[in-house]
Amino acid sequence: MPDRGAGNVVRVLGLPDSIAVALFDLDGVLTSTAVLHCSAWKHAFDAFLAERDGDAYVPFTVQDYLTHVDGRPAVDGVRAFLAARGIDASSAVIDNLGSEENAVFLDGLRRGEAAAYPGSVRYLEALRQNGFRIGIVTSSKNARAVLDATGLTGFVEQRIDGVEIDRVGLRGKPAPDSFLACAAAFGVTPAEAAVFEDALSGVQAARAGGFGFVIGIDRVGADHAAAMRDAGADIVLGDPAELLPA
């Protein structure tokens, strides 16, 4: 448990005194893989849309990613985006799009196109040094590979990822199931855990789960910070390191 004695360690790290566990989304919060995912989804969706609609197709955008795909399990994200475009696709099409995105993403990961954000690493180090426990909650089925590739594996005590979500049959974000499962793995109540999220669906999930503190991470700009506040974030930062002392 964090030291709540002299020095006000918990307050220095920007978290309420009730918090013992920090739960992090992975892509876009700790690692730059959200950018890689967005690019991979654009590759998959644009190829599909171009084949379907020809030269009249409307390309997949960053806003499409943020609104419909980011933070969700791949199948849910594909369904949400296609539904927004008025497309009723078969399960085979949905699965093929997910497989194509995953292949492009893994190619980028193998080429070293992902890294841990330095500020996030500094904040993880501070949490660990001050006795907080750290978990990862992500819809990605590649979480282990991403953690290994970015050097973050050693920080993580519990991980609920896309593989575990499928194995147990949890609902994906914006349902709170995956965050609740990680809190339970630590043996804490949601009120004793803080959530760090960059996806609207993740912020919604943390708020729905009754977590003690919800931190939005905005690496996008524009209206994303306001959207995260509307979704239930207690505060919105550009990087977790903003919670560290100057």
3-state secondary structure 124-142: HHHHHHCCCEEEEECCCCC
Q: What is the pLDDT of residues 120-159, one digit of tens each?
A: 999 999 999 999 999 999 998 899 999 999 999 999 999 9
CA distances from 77 to 94, 134, 208, 216 (A): 10, 27, 19, 20
Task: Give the tens place of pLDDT for each residue, 39-57.
Answer: 999 999 999 999 999 999 9
**What is the per-residue pLDDT for 11?**
55
Do 9-32+115-243 and 34-110 agree at the fold level?
Answer: no
Give the residue extent of every domain in the chain.
9-32+115-243, 34-110
Q: Are 157 and 185 in contact (CB under 8 A)?
A: no
Res 6: pLDDT: 36
pTM over 0.95: no
Residues contacting 194, CB < 8 A, separation 6+: 15, 16, 19, 21, 22, 23, 211, 212, 213, 214, 215
CA distance 102 to 116: 19
- pLDDT (tens, 9 = 90+) of the chain, 246 residues, equals 444 333 334 455 999 999 999 999 998 999 998 888 899 999 999 999 999 999 999 999 999 998 999 888 889 999 999 999 999 999 999 999 999 999 998 999 889 888 999 999 999 999 999 999 999 999 988 999 999 999 999 999 999 999 999 999 999 999 999 999 999 999 999 999 999 999 999 999 999 999 999 999 999 888 999 999 999 999 999 999 999 987
**Alpha-carbon distance 70 to 220, whole Å?**
12
Catalytic positions are 25, 27
CATH class of 34-110: mainly alpha
Give the span between the Cα atoms of 200 and 71, in whole angstroms.
8
Beta bridge partners of 134: 22
Class of domain 9-32+115-243: alpha beta
